[in-house]
């Protein structure tokens, strides 16, 4: 019970911290440099630039409406963190003003904004928080229109950024896209850890020698799968191993030295948990149904 309370308090802290950083990115970098943003934040910025409406209030109203309309798409525990995120973001956007950051080199602004937004969203997600907003619309598009969540988020971002570009100008529109790209990279870095993993599949008649060499040299466990070649109808042993990115070249050399004809595939791994890998986030019993990896908006 005590552990659950500590986890809840930590999640609340992370959601608040993430939204605090996000508000700094918006109030100190995005708005002073007249940049745009995706998601509901970008929507609220449109009304700020065109009608001088309070973006914090617009964001709060729209997010609240979306939460009411789409609450059934979220788990009960997620709804609590979503309400916390909406309320805290509104307060921080309204009252956290640390001064404008307007660099002489205009390209610096989207880089800084992208870094801060990516960092803030990553922190919110680590706190098992959800960003609501356009994520709920994307889930509704998936249910009623058959559009994937990722594509739905992309469509919504395009619908928001396009009219914003006519308001802030093409140059600022391009900088907004740069901001979103930087945000995506920073967010991926935070969620995937400091050392990206690769999954390697090896099909070789010399599987025993290759596995032994990899174990001795790289100190990684290997899973041996049984298979067969459809064309040859011969049984094959398939090696499956997860390694760090920096170990990939060494593994490729080992395989090539032992069996140059070996069939090798390499795929990216977004998260690894289990023995031998330290990056692990303990999941909630009621895992959030929505996290924002595309619209970049707490």
CATH code (residue 241):
3.30.70.120
Say if residue 56 is in the same domain as residue 185: yes
CA of residue 196 relative to chain centroid, distance? 14
Say if residue 156 is in the same domain as residue 227: no
At residue 107, the pLDDT reads: 92
Name the strand (E) or helix (H) holding 174.
helix 170-192
- Write down how long the chain is: 298
Say if residue 145 is in the same domain as residue 45: yes
Say if residue 187 is in the same domain as residue 258: no
Say if residue 263 is in the same domain as residue 151: no
Query: Does some domain include residue 285?
Result: no
Range of the domain at 72: 2-192
In 62-191, the DSSP E strands lie at: none
Sign of the Cα pseudo-torsion (278, 281, 283, 288, in order): negative
In the chain, the DSSP E strands lie at: 197-203, 223-228, 235-244, 263-269
At residue 286, the pLDDT reads: 45
Cβ atoms of 43 and 160 within 8 Å: the answer is yes
Query: Does some domain include residue 287?
Result: no
User: Which tens digit of pLDDT belongs to each residue from 193-242?
Assistant: 656 788 999 999 899 999 999 998 888 889 999 988 888 888 888 999 99
Low-confidence ranges of the chain (pLDDT < 50): 278-296, 298
pTM of the full predicted structure? 0.72
Say if residue 219 is in the same domain as residue 123: no
At residue 102, the pLDDT reads: 93
DSSP structure class, residue 132: -
Say if residue 185 is in the same domain as residue 207: no
At residue 173, the pLDDT reads: 92
Total number of domains constituting the chain: 2
Say if residue 149 is in the same domain as residue 211: no
């Amino acid at each position: 019970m005590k552990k659950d309370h500590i986890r809840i308090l930590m999640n609340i802290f992370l959601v608040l911290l993430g939204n605090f950083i996000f508000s700094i990115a918006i109030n100190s970098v995005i708005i002073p440099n007249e940049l745009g943003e995706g998601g509901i934040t970008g929507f609220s910025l449109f009304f700020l630039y065109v009608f001088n409406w309070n973006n914090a209030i617009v964001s709060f109203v729209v997010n609240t409406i979306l939460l009411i309309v789409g609450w059934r798409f979220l788990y009960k525990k997620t709804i609590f963190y979503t309400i916390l995120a909406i309320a805290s973001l509104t307060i921080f956007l309204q009252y956290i003003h640390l001064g404008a950051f307007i660099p002489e080199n205009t390209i610096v602004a989207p880089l800084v904004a992208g870094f801060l937004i990516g960092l803030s969203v990553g922190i919110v997600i680590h706190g098992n928080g959800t960003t609501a907003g356009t994520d709920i619309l994307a889930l509704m598009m998936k249910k009623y229109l058959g559009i994937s969540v990722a594509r739905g988020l992309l469509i919504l971002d395009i619908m928001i950024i396009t009219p914003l570009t006519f308001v802030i100008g093409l140059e600022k529109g391009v900088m907004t896209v740069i901001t979103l790209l930087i945000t995506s990279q920073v967010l991926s870095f935070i969620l995937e850890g400091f050392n990206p993993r690769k999954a390697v599949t090896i099909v070789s008649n010399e599987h025993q020698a290759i596995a032994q060499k990899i174990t001795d040299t790289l100190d990684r466990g290997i899973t041996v799968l049984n298979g067969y070649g459809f064309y040859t109808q011969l049984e094959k042993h398939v090696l499956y191993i997860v390694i760090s990115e920096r170990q990939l070249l060494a593994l490729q050399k080992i395989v090539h030295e032992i069996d140059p004809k070996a069939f090798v595939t390499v795929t990216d791994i977004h998260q690894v948990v289990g023995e031998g890998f330290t990056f692990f986030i303990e999941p909630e019993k009621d895992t959030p149904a929505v996290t924002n990896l595309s619209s970049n908006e707490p």
